[in-house]
Structure 1
């Protein structure tokens, strides 16, 4: 069983869990509505692992802050992968909004000690 004893380790696990959210989202797209076995299975495994890891951090971190950071990493990271890998629109407004999500993630982490 995983035991997290300090906030640095907890935030590191939130980061890893957020990265798994990106894997989940990208693999879900590549699964073609879960009609392709390997990306579909990878998507499900990444989602389960992400939630499982995140659950260990909630003994140390505030729920609202941890969840917002986790979801923000997944959202901003997935948007950036979409821009780079899938050549999605890189309009100024879209980039600004992704930047605001990232700024919110950083801001919430600075508030954790408050």
Structure 2
């Protein structure tokens, strides 16, 4: 159950990272409210997952999911450049997440 909470927390991290962009530096009310709400949910679930998972592993997986997902969403929906280097970086992050999860 802790791993499931951690994955959802990571997915929510993607949401708040994209929300930061869409909120215009917290200058737009509803995108800002949504961003802060998703941030709170992400941190809450990370905290619950940390009750049983090692902090180093959980934090690295959480940030990895957020970085990987945010980069992918940026390229897919926000017009950010799709380059071989960016794809390689995403693949390396995914590999690191897999190694950390299998290690514990």
Q: How high is the TM-score relative to the length of structure 1?
A: 0.89
In the comparison of the two structures, how many residue pairs are matched?
Answer: 104
In structure 1, the gaps of 5 or more residues are 1-8
Tell me whether 1:105 sits opposite 2:97 in the alignment.
yes
Residue 67 of structure 2 corresponds to 75
Q: 1:87: Cα distance to partner?
A: 1.5
Rg larger for: 1
1:47 equivalenced with 2:42 (yes/no): no
Structure 2: gaps of 5 or more residues: none
Cα deviation for residue 27 of structure 1 reads 1.0
After TM superposition, the structure 1 = structure 2 runs for residues 1-114 of structure 1, keeping only pairs within 5 Å, are: 9-112=1-104
Cα distance per residue 1:34-65 (max 9 Å; x no partner): 11111111111111110011101111101100
CA–CA distance in structure 2, aligned partners of residues 10 and 95 of structure 1: 29
